[in-house]
Amino acid sequence: MKQQEQLLTIKRFVRHLFQDDITGHDYYHMKRVAHLAKLIAEKEHADRFICETAAWLHDVVDEKLFTNPTEIKKELERLLISIDLSKQEIAQIKLAITDISFRKGKIPKSLEGKIVQDADQLDAIGAIGIARAFAYGATKGRHFYHEQFNNHTIKHFYDKLLLIKDTLHTKTAQHFAKERHQMMEQFLEQFYKEWNDGEITLARKDVEHHY
């Protein structure tokens, strides 16, 4: 099977698996991460095919996204075998998609893993990152901002999103992150401005001091 056909089969699998997702982990998230991973791989002289394939599949192993993760992992195993990938390619793809979550705080061992993690992190910042954060927060029943709750989505920017630019592994991703990071800072600035004229400073202080 040619690489293009292998990728097509993988995309079909991913489309089917994530078609109903509204938490920011939909097919288009995988598509964006795959695109970014390919771009980064080219610049960093890594294996493009492994990066792209692993990026398409990176959330298949995320246990929080599925009610039947064991079954999904078996399906992934069957898929990788069915498209004639070599044993070595399968091992590389698996290595790249294991332990890539920032939440778990692990640093991937391979360059390809680092690239997929960087691509995934880039999709959590910038305009898309802002949209995904609010979408995710809503599915968890969270306020986008609230003075009496400390799990609102604005807080997530301080807990995670504003820190991402300093956790990226590759120079290429760090470069891509600059514009996206600025975008989030501008967004927060404007958010406070619009929140309520008299409470702008209060809202900002609140977030910075208590979290």
DSSP state of 211: -
The CB-of-29 to Ni ion minimum distance in angstroms stands at 6
- Which C-beta is closer to ligand ADP: that of 153 or that of 172? 153
The helix/strand/coil state of 68 is coil
Q: CA-to-CA distance for 190 and 120, rounded, in angstroms?
A: 26
The reply on whether position 118 binds ligand ADP by CB under 6 A is no
**Binding segment (CB under 5 A) for Ni ion, from list 56-64, 94-102, 133-141, 171-179:** 56-64
- Which C-beta is closer to ligand ADP: that of 108 or that of 137? 137
Among 133, 154, 168, 207, binds ligand ADP (CB under 6 A): 133
The CB-of-129 to Ni ion minimum distance in angstroms stands at 11
Among 27, 66, 136, 158, binds ligand ADP (CB under 6 A): 136
Among 108, 113, 126, 137, binds ligand ADP (CB under 6 A): 137
122 binds, among Ni ion, ligand ADP, none (CB under 5 to 8 A by kind): none
Among 57, 96, 129, 176, binds ligand ADP (CB under 6 A): 129
- Helical axes 87-97 vs 111-122, angle rounded to 10°: 40
Q: CA-to-CA distance for 117 and 101, rounded, in angstroms?
A: 7
The reply on whether position 101 binds ligand ADP by CB under 6 A is yes
Between the CA of residue 208 and those of 45, 96, 150, 190, 203, what are the distances in Å? 40, 35, 12, 16, 9
Burial class (CB in 10 A: 0-12, 13-18, 19+), 190: exposed
